[in-house]
């Protein structure tokens, strides 16, 4: 730095120190920042806030350790009062941060911020004769040794002696101050280079500086670091002792972002401001140079991670943070060359380094997450749409796509950390299903390992990064970015799911194959449901083969399918009795392919009969008259009846029915609130879940939480005894705490009341019924990837289908047979009629043609309807093969006749008979 800049900096530093004599936190927070050069944006409120916060925390730190020196002090946060307990430096640092956030009291007189020694204080009357301990080129340690009686100069003296003090820092001190020297970049340096480039139209100095910094990890990791030189009223230019600095920087409050206000390391905010300022310069000036620099940087990082290992984990992580703060370069070379190289280097990060990167992105780079995600998505999309994949070269073999997906996983976890998280204590206890012995089946699995889903599940482990971060998608109440933004539809449409599933099994065995099923956040729900479908079909085939081999050796009669024979008039009784028998005798039979037969009807089940069976079961079993579930009119949802007379076995069988529907790829008309799916996946209900279940109650409790008046007890007059009604309308009272009717809700305990209320309604009151229901569900789905592939919102879509009734998509995806084409007049009339139908009639049409009135996952474009010509004009009604989604449509001679016959057909379509 030139001397003028140093003088200006010294002047500002001494002014900051003078203002530090304020006795209250509120005054101290308005102090100007320290360590900024002239013209560097010293009025930036974020920098001022950090600097003031740092000074306040240090004042609390010394107050806790040394006290104020007043023997009559009555401040419980001061060591001189006698009330404060003895603290180690680490404990004092952590406590100081907590006191800062609660704006605790500060004493009027504080000890000087110098390395503490036995003689660190002196009489104030002798201040005029004291000498500066840092003059004549001595370090702080040397000064203490040579003159233990010396003390710091006054603020007025400091202002005069600052330039000399700055030049007499030790070599270790100078390494901790980021000056404008050589290749290391600072925010101020970027400002100067950009301004110079804009004024002179000469980008060479800017390009040279960026190239020198961004090609070498050792240089880039030292860029944009925090300034930790302290300019206090008692010690101008003197760095704190290493032990104290380390104690304060390593301490953290679990609820606060300590690193944002103090401590060495990367100053993310400064880096973001600097690189954002770079966008003022036309990108064509530096984009090509940046691409080359980032490519070289990635190569050097990979070399260090794999071979030399010279850099620390923090330095490597800082390089990635800075590199991904680079603004949009606006050139294809970045997506085609530099970004793939960075992704390739990132795959060599250790799990701990990935976790640190995720935390930094999640805590300090929230505003950058969307830019980082969009950049990675652009790379994947560009590669997918520009590459001709084949059965010999799959997308799983494309390193650019797979490496980008691995890096996106770090962004995915960072996005969760940046969002609203709930405590892990709300996890449901895991359901344990006792494994049943099947020696013959186990022998087959040994001979044919590809058919073993069991071995695949047992080898499946939780993501190591999730374990390191201690984060689970179920704990995320609201991510910073919607999870849907991580879907990549071109990639999802390109993946051959049968190959990806095989890779997933192979990856479990030897770790060599890449499978996108290991990175489910990038896949759409429709694509993942296809993977689940293939997995379930493999399991069905395996069970069918085992059953046939049992029959060959005489061990049991052949039962290759799960057969249910039921009467329409006694549907629930017949179905639940048969399922109960199967679950008791051999629960593994539930994993066979379901075949349903209605007694007295000629329908052969190729899928369509099962669809109608499930629809009829759902209609009856969720009927309020049945008594197992209650209905909420406001939310149009069903909930477990806490006072139901049905046994646990009945709820277990309902869970089996729901699991069988997913297992057999059948969509149900079930209207559970989202909390049911969260609980099925292993997460207890909490207060926020009330919004889906009972919005009126949720809003009332929310108003109570937001009420700040001191008369809450009189306004709400609510105790810890609550009242709810059973199915007969009778009132039932429950105490949330012992003697709850004697405990009124106040400002102090209202949060506890709300949490206990929600926990009772969503968990405890239906604990028996839900545990049985969840157990039945797990009996069918426990060995599938349902829990690892799908979030609760996706499971709801898997059960209930999509809510988007876009019949334009259905028209585009429909195929024609028997002589019909899209230009046939009958087909044109048909779609004209369909588009004019009400939503209810459209549901009836879906029910008639496919056996279900629900939209499949992914929308109607995934339905694959076939319309076949069924002869010339006649008086017959249209018919359908629901097993194959085929509509048999005669070629009626008028639109009116077509509409009349079609409406009659869809209105009276239950039952089976000969066509």
DSSP labels for 222-249? TTTBPP----BTTBTTPPPPHHHHHHHH
List the catalytic residue out of 122, 249, 331, 883.
883
Average pLDDT estimate for 62-69: 80
Of the candidate ranges 46-55, 183-192, 648-657, the one whose mean pLDDT is the lowest: 46-55
- Which pLDDT score is estimated for 401? 95
- Which pLDDT score is estimated for 557? 63
Phi-psi group of 717: left, alpha or beta (phi > 0 → left; psi -120 to 50 → alpha; rest → beta)? left
User: 561-685+768-800, which class in CATH?
Assistant: alpha beta
Express each pLDDT in 519-529 by its tens digit. 999 999 989 99
Residue 162: pLDDT band with limits 50, 70, 90: very low
Average pLDDT estimate for 607-628: 80
Classify residue 29 by burial, with Cβ atoms within 10 Å: 0-12, 13-18, 19+. Answer: middle
- Which pLDDT score is estimated for 129? 33
Express each pLDDT in 250-301 by its tens digit. 333 333 343 433 345 889 999 999 999 999 999 888 888 889 999 999 999 9
- Which pLDDT score is estimated for 753? 94
Residue 85: pLDDT band with limits 50, 70, 90: low
Dist CA 406 CA 516 (whole Å) = 10
Q: Give percent above pLDDT 90 in the chain.
A: 29
- Which pLDDT score is estimated for 466? 92
* Annotation says 883 is catalytic: yes
Average pLDDT estimate for 530-541: 87
C-beta atoms surrounding 227 within 10 Å? 20
- Which pLDDT score is estimated for 256? 39
Half-sphere exposure of 666 (CA within 13 A, CB side): 31
Backbone angles phi, psi at 14, to 5 degrees: -70, -35
815-817, strands of its sheet edge to edge: 815-817, 866-869, 886-889, 879-881
Give 556 or 121, the one with higher predicted confidence: 556
Average pLDDT estimate for 573-588: 81
- Which pLDDT score is estimated for 578? 84
Strands 637-640 and 721-725: unpaired
Express each pLDDT in 715-770 by its tens digit. 988 999 998 877 667 788 899 988 888 999 999 999 999 999 999 999 999 999 99
| Residues pairing with 630 in the sheet | 639
Express each pLDDT in 476-492 by its tens digit. 999 999 999 999 999 99
- Which pLDDT score is estimated for 230? 42
Of the candidate ranges 177-186, 428-437, 771-780, the one whose mean pLDDT is the lowest: 177-186
- Which pLDDT score is estimated for 606? 64
Q: How high does pLDDT run on average in the chain? A: 76
The radius of gyration of the chain from alpha carbons, rounded to an integer in Å, stands at 35
Residue 909: pLDDT band with limits 50, 70, 90: low
- Which pLDDT score is estimated for 507? 60
- Which pLDDT score is estimated for 250? 38
Dist CA 719 CA 703 (whole Å) = 16
- Which pLDDT score is estimated for 511? 56
- 3-state SS, residue 598: strand
Give 880 or 606, the one with higher predicted confidence: 880
Do 80 and 73 form a contact (C-beta atoms < 8 A)?
Answer: yes
Give 648 or 485, the one with higher predicted confidence: 485
Of the candidate ranges 9-18, 186-195, 655-664, the one whose mean pLDDT is the lowest: 9-18
Residue 115: pLDDT band with limits 50, 70, 90: very low
Which of the listed ranges 422-436, 802-816, 888-902 does the model predict with the highest average pLDDT? 888-902
Dist CA 539 CA 668 (whole Å) = 22
What sign does the dihedral 475-479-484-486 (CA atoms) show? Answer: negative
Dist CA 358 CA 250 (whole Å) = 19
Residue 554: pLDDT band with limits 50, 70, 90: low
* pLDDT score of 683 more than 80: yes
* pLDDT score of 442 more than 70: no
Query: C-alpha distances in angstroms, 498 versus 447, 494, 515, 534, 792?
Result: 21, 12, 11, 7, 24
What architecture (CATH level 2) is domain 807-907? 2-Layer Sandwich (3.30)
Express each pLDDT in 139-149 by its tens digit. 333 333 333 33
Residue 338: pLDDT band with limits 50, 70, 90: very high
* pLDDT score of 584 more than 60: yes
Closest CA to 642 of 736, 769, 732: 769
Express each pLDDT in 413-422 by its tens digit. 999 999 999 8
Query: C-alpha distances in angstroms, 890 versus 818, 824, 825, 837, 886?
Result: 10, 12, 12, 20, 13
Each domain of the chain, given as residue ranges in start order, spans 1-121+134-158+231-250, 179-223+262-343, 350-422+432-554, 561-685+768-800, 689-762, 807-907
* pLDDT score of 444 more than 60: no
Q: What share of the chain is helix, strand, coil (3-state, %, to 5)?
A: 55, 5, 35
- Which pLDDT score is estimated for 35? 31
Dist CA 53 CA 33 (whole Å) = 10
Dist CA 842 CA 691 (whole Å) = 30
Closest CA to 113 of 250, 245, 251: 245
- Which pLDDT score is estimated for 44? 44
Of the candidate ranges 6-15, 136-145, 420-429, the one whose mean pLDDT is the lowest: 136-145
Of the candidate ranges 28-32, 238-242, 826-830, the one whose mean pLDDT is the lowest: 28-32
Half-sphere exposure of 474 (CA within 13 A, CB side): 23
- Which pLDDT score is estimated for 149? 33
Dist CA 378 CA 381 (whole Å) = 5
Express each pLDDT in 17-50 by its tens digit. 333 333 333 333 333 333 333 333 334 444 445 5
What is the model's pTM? 0.71
Dist CA 323 CA 329 (whole Å) = 12
Helices (H) and strands (E) in the chain, counts: 40, 12
Give 909 or 165, the one with higher predicted confidence: 909
* pLDDT score of 152 more than 90: no
From the candidate CATH numbers 3.40.50.300, 3.40.50.1820, 3.30.2160.10, 3.30.470.20, the one assigned to the domain spanning 689-762: 3.30.2160.10
């Amino acid at each position: 730095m030139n001397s003028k800049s140093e003088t200006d900096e010294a002047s500002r530093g001494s002014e900051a120190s003078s203002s530090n004599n304020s006795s209250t936190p509120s005054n101290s927070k308005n102090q100007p920042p320290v360590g900024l050069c002239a013209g560097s944006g010293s009025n930036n409120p974020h920098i001022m806030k950090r600097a003031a916060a740092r000074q306040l925390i240090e004042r609390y730190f010394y107050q806790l350790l040394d006290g104020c020196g007043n023997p009559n002090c009555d401040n419980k946060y001061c060591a001189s009062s006698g009330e404060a307990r003895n603290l180690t430096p680490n404990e004092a640092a952590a406590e100081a941060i907590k006191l800062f956030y609660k704006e605790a009291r500060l004493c009027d007189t504080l000890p000087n911020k110098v390395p503490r020694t036995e003689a660190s204080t002196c009489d104030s009357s002798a201040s005029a004769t004291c000498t500066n301990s840092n003059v004549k080129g001595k370090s702080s340690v040397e000064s203490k040794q040579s003159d233990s009686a010396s003390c710091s100069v006054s603020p007025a003296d400091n202002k005069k002696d600052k330039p000399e003090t700055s030049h007499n820092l030790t070599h270790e001190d100078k390494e901790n101050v980021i000056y404008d020297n050589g290749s290391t970049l600072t925010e101020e340096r970027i400002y100067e280079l950009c301004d110079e480039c804009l004024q002179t139209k000469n980008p060479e100095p800017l390009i040279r500086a960026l190239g020198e910094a961004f090609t070498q990890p050792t240089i880039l990791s030292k860029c944009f670091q925090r300034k930790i030189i302290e300019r206090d009223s008692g010690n101008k230019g003197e760095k704190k002792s290493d032990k104290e600095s380390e104690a304060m920087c390593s301490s953290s409050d679990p609820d606060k972002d300590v690193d944002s206000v103090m401590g060495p390391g990367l100053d993310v905010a400064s880096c973001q401001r600097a690189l954002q300022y770079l966008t003022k310069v036309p990108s064509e000036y530096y984009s090509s140079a940046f691409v080359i620099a980032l490519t070289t940087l990635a190569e050097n990082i990979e070399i260090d991670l794999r071979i030399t290992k010279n850099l620390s984990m923090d330095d490597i992580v800082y390089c990635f943070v800075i590199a991904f703060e680079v603004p949009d370069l606006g050139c294809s070379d970045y997506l085609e060359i530099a970004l793939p190289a960075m992704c390739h280097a990132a795959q060599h990060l250790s799990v701990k380094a990935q976790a640190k990167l995720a935390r930094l992105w999640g805590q300090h780079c929230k505003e950058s997450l969307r830019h980082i995600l969009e950049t990675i998505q652009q790379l994947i999309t560009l590669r997918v749409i520009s590459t001709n994949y084949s059965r010999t070269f799959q997308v799983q073999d494309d390193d650019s796509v797979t490496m980008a997906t691995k890096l996106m996983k770090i962004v995915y976890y960072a996005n969760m950390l940046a969002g609203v998280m709930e405590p892990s204590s709300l996890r449901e206890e895991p359901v344990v299903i006792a494994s049943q012995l099947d020696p013959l089946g186990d022998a087959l699995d040994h001979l044919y390992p590809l058919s073993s889903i069991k071995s695949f599940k047992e080898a499946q482990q939780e993501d190591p990064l999730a374990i390191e971060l201690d984060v689970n998608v179920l704990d995320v109440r609201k991510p910073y970015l919607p999870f849907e933004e991580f879907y990549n539809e071109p990639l999802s449409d390109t993946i051959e799911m049968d190959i990806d599933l095989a890779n997933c099994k192979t990856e479990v065995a030897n770790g060599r194959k890449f499978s996108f099923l290991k990175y489910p956040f990038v896949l759409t729900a429709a694509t993942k449901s296809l993977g689940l479908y293939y997995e379930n079909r493999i399991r069905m085939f395996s069970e069918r083969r085992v059953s046939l081999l049992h029959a060959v050796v005489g061990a049991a009669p052949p039962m290759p399918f799960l057969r249910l024979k039921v009467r329409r008039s006694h549907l629930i009784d017949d179905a639940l009795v048969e399922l109960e028998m199967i679950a008791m005798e051999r629960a593994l039979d539930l994993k066979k392919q379901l075949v349903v037969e209605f007694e007295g009807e000629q329908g052969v089940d190729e899928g369509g009969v099962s669809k109608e069976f499930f629809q009829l079961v759902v209609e009856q079993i969720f009927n309020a008259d049945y008594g197992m579930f209650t209905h909420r009119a406001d939310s149009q949802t069903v909930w477990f009846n806490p006072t139901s007379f049905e046994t646990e076995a009945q709820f277990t069988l309902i869970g089996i029915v729901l699991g069988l529907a997913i297992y057999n790829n059948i969509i149900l008309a079930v209207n559970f609130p989202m909390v049911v799916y969260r609980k099925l996946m292993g997460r207890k209900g909490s207060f926020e879940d009330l919004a889906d279940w009972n919005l009126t109650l949720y809003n009332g409790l929310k108003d109570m939480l937001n009420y700040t008046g001191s008369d809450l007890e009189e306004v709400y007059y609510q105790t810890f005894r609550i009242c709810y009604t059973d199915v007969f309308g009778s009132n039932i009272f429950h105490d949330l705490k012992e003697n709850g009717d004697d405990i009124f809700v106040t400002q102090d305990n209202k949060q506890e009341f709300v949490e206990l209320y929600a926990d009772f309604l969503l968990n405890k009151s239906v604990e028996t019924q839900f545990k049985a229901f969840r157990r039945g569900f797990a009996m069918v789905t426990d060995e599938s990837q349902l829990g690892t592939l799908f979030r609760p919102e996706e499971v709801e879509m898997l059960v209930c289908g999509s809510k988007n009734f876009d019949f334009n998509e259905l028209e585009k995806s429909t195929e024609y047979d028997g002589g019909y084409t899209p230009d046939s007049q009958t087909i044109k009339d048909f779609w004209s009629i369909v588009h004019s139908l009400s939503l209810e009639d459209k549901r009836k049409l879906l029910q008639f043609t496919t056996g279900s009135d629900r939209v499949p996952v992914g929308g109607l474009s995934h339905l694959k309807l076939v319309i076949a010509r069924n002869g010339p004009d006649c008086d017959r009604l249209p018919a359908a093969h629901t097993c194959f989604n085929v509509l048999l449509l005669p070629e009626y001679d008028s639109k009116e006749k077509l509409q009349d016959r079609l409406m009659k057909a869809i209105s009276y379509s239950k039952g089976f008979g000969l066509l």
